[in-house]
């Protein structure tokens, strides 16, 4: 029996180096796009439609959609929502459709469309993703959204957490990025906030007072939900 294989890709920029068609791809942008998607879908949002540009989000908004847009960590002027996961859990969004454009997360999602299936992962639904992958796939790539196409620490440790759980279930890896992710998660898991204290994201967004959001994103297994990106371009629950 060939054992099931885990890979980690550190940035959407690296996607051309990977063959995706036989793999589930789990997109991770933990601070904060995929955490917002998981929190929203986990709290009863019906659909989230990811779009690349702010202009696309505006076009949806002008047609009456609830639209969320974030750039450089802040809500884009003229939008009622950015990518704060806490705001996605509000009761008023239950059963609604939200259109979402974010800096890195939606870009990663839209670049992975060659995959067999595209899932949305975060600490918030870590175990739900792992169990779903284990039951339904033979190969998975965790795709870190990164920051401006570069490696970032926060998405990497989420990938490492999920990869480790799969390896404990008998999956294997021959991918050094996966090994590095698991080892970085080993170091981070006792205190993610402390581990991230000198990370670039922390410094970059310090002026935005995101402490509450970041603490929310660092919670493990709040939602037993597996959001996936369907052929119509919508993210819905499995």
Tell me which DSSP letter residue 85 carries. Answer: T
75 binds a copy of itself (CB under 8 A): no
Q: Binding residue for a copy of itself (CB under 8 A) from 1, 2, 17, 190?
A: 17
> Contacts with a copy of itself: how many residues (CB under 8 A)?
28
179 binds a copy of itself (CB under 8 A): yes
238 binds a copy of itself (CB under 8 A): no
State which residue, 138 or 149, has the beta carbon closest to a copy of itself.
149
Helices (H), 104-232: 105-111, 126-136, 153-168, 176-188, 192-195, 200-204, 211-217
* Min CB(160)–a copy of itself separation in Å: 11
147 binds a copy of itself (CB under 8 A): yes
15 binds a copy of itself (CB under 8 A): no
Q: Binding residue for a copy of itself (CB under 8 A) from 3, 90, 114, 150?
A: 150
Q: Collapsing DSSP states into helix, strand and coil, what is residue 235?
A: strand
184 binds a copy of itself (CB under 8 A): yes
193 binds a copy of itself (CB under 8 A): no
* Min CB(220)–a copy of itself separation in Å: 21
Query: Between 126-136 and 153-168, two packed helices, what is the crossing angle to 10 degrees?
Result: 50
* Min CB(204)–a copy of itself separation in Å: 8
Helices (H), the chain: 33-42, 54-62, 105-111, 126-136, 153-168, 176-188, 192-195, 200-204, 211-217
Cα 232 versus chain centre, distance: 19
Give me 178's structure tokens. 């996966």
Query: Hey, CA dihedral for 48, 53, 58, 60, is it positive or negative?
Result: negative
Chain residues in the site for a copy of itself (CB under 8 A)? 10-11, 13-14, 17, 147-153, 156, 174-177, 179-180, 183-184, 186-187, 198-201, 203
């Amino acid at each position: 029996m060939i054992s099931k294989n885990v890979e980690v890709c550190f940035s959407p920029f690296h996607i051309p180096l990977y063959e995706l068609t036989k793999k589930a791809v789990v997109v991770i942008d933990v601070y904060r796009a995929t955490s917002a998607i998981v929190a929203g879908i986990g709290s009863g949002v019906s659909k989230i439609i990811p779009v690349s540009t702010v202009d696309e989000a505006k076009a949806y908004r002008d047609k009456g959609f609830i639209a969320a847009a974030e750039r450089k960590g802040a809500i884009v002027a003229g939008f009622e929502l950015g990518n704060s996961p806490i705001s996605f859990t509000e009761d008023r969004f239950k059963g609604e459709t939200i259109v979402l454009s974010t800096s890195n997360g939606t870009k990663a999602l839209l670049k992975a469309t060659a995959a067999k299936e595209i899932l949305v992962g975060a600490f918030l639904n870590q175990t739900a993703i792992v169990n779903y992958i284990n039951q339904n796939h033979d190969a998975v790539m965790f795709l870190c959204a990164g920051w401006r196409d570069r490696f970032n620490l926060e998405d990497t440790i989420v990938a490492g957490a999920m990869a480790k759980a799969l390896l404990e279930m008998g999956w294997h890896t021959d991918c050094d990025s996966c090994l590095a992710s698991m080892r970085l998660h080993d170091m981070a898991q006792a205190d993610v906030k402390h581990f991230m204290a000198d990370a670039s994201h922390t410094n970059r967004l310090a002026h935005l007072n995101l402490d509450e959001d970041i603490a929310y994103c660092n919670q493990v297994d709040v939602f037993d939900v597996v959001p996936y990106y369907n052929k119509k371009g919508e993210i819905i629950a499995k």
